[in-house]
Amino acid sequence: MKIDVISIFPEYLSPLKLSLLGKAQSSGLLEIEVHDLRALSTDNHNTVDDTPYGGGAGMVMLPEVWGKTLDPLMSENTDLIILTPAGRRFTQKTAEEFSTANHLVFACGRYEGIDDRVRQYYSTQEFKNRNIRVHEISIGDYVLGGGEVASMVMIEAITRLIPGVLGNPESLSEESHKFEGYLEYPNFTKPQEWRGISVPEILLSGNHAEIAKWRSQQAEKRAKDNL
């Protein structure tokens, strides 16, 4: 999978080089490229935003600099993801859908967002014919300063579903088959007793059927408590 991320703060995305994502890139499973939006700004001040038509608070990101940056990245079979708190909610299901994608481009907006004509332009028939889709996505009901952290959340959730990226593929199939990716039971390891608190007896019993039953009850209880 190829991933491009565009931001006015490319250093903000440096964690993408670390850990499992770093390994997946050195092994060639994944290629992540971060682009500085200001690299293609046209004036001396590297302006990327201006006041909104119609008035109101804040600044809007200029379509021209986004167009110049996105045009060379829009290859055949690409999903363009515009990060915005007004977008469709990102879930485990969305992560699964994007995990089989060929090429993801993340457009990280700042300020009050990107001029809507950028979304409109890359949604036209010309781009549909080239197998290019545009998505506006939010990671939850709260407002962040920009799309950078949201893009990293999505990239981590999506890429760990790519075969070979996660260290232990067992943990993936347990998640998806038993708990549909979001419910989990509580886990314990050594020692058997820690600060006066013991590991639940059932987990030491060796009775795998009973352990599975207990775990699914616990997962269900957690899901209810979190409502």
Residue 159's nearest CA partner among 210, 98, 113 is: 98
Q: In whole angstroms, what is the distance from residue 66 CA to residue 109 CA?
A: 10
User: In terms of CB distance, is 58 or 200 closer to ligand 6GU?
Assistant: 58
Structural contact between residues 138 and 81, judged by C-beta atoms closer than 8 angstroms: no
Binding test (CB under 6 A) with ligand 6GU, winner from 139, 152, 158, 165? 139
Query: Beta-carbon neighbour count of residue 97 at 10 Å?
Result: 14
| Residue 130 φ/ψ, nearest 5 degrees | -95, 15
DSSP conformation class of 6: E
Peptide bond before 169: cis, by omega within 30 degrees of 0? no
How many residues belong to the site for ligand 6GU (CB under 6 A)?
12
Residue 138 in the binding site for ligand 6GU (CB under 6 A): yes
Residue with smaller CB distance to ligand 6GU, 140 or 186: 140
Q: CB under 8 Å to 157, separation ≥6 — which residues?
A: 90, 92, 95
Residue from 140, 164, 167, 186 binding ligand 6GU (CB under 6 A): 140
**Can you tell me which of 25, 69, 84, 159 binds ligand 6GU, judged by CB under 6 A?**
84
- C-alpha triplet 77, 83, 89: angle, nearest 5°: 95
CB closer to ligand 6GU, 140 vs 167: 140
- If binding is defined by CB under 6 A, does position 85 make contact with ligand 6GU? yes
Q: Among 104, 119, 147, 159, which residue sits at the site for ligand 6GU (rule: CB under 6 A)?
A: 147
- Answer for which of 18, 143, 209, 227 binds ligand 6GU (CB under 6 A) is 143
* Nearest CB to ligand 6GU, comparing residues 153 and 211: 153
Which among 35-43, 122-130, 140-148, 196-204 is the span making contact with ligand 6GU, rule CB under 6 A? 140-148
3-class SS string, 118-157 = HHHHHCCHHHHHCCEEEEEEECCCCCCCECHHHHHHHHHH
- What is the C-alpha separation between 156 and 42, in angstroms, rounded? 33
CB of 80 to ligand 6GU, least distance (A): 14
Following CA atoms 83, 89, 94, 99 in sequence, which dihedral angle do they give, to the nearest 10 degrees? 20
- One-letter identity of residue 154: M
Q: Does 150 bind ligand 6GU (CB under 6 A)?
A: yes
Q: Is 107 in the site for ligand 6GU (CB under 6 A)?
A: no
Q: List residues forming the annotated binding site.
A: 109, 139-144
Q: List residues forming the annotated binding site for S-adenosyl-L-methionine.
A: 109, 139-144
Contact residues toward ligand 6GU (CB under 6 A) are 83-85, 138-140, 142-144, 146-147, 150
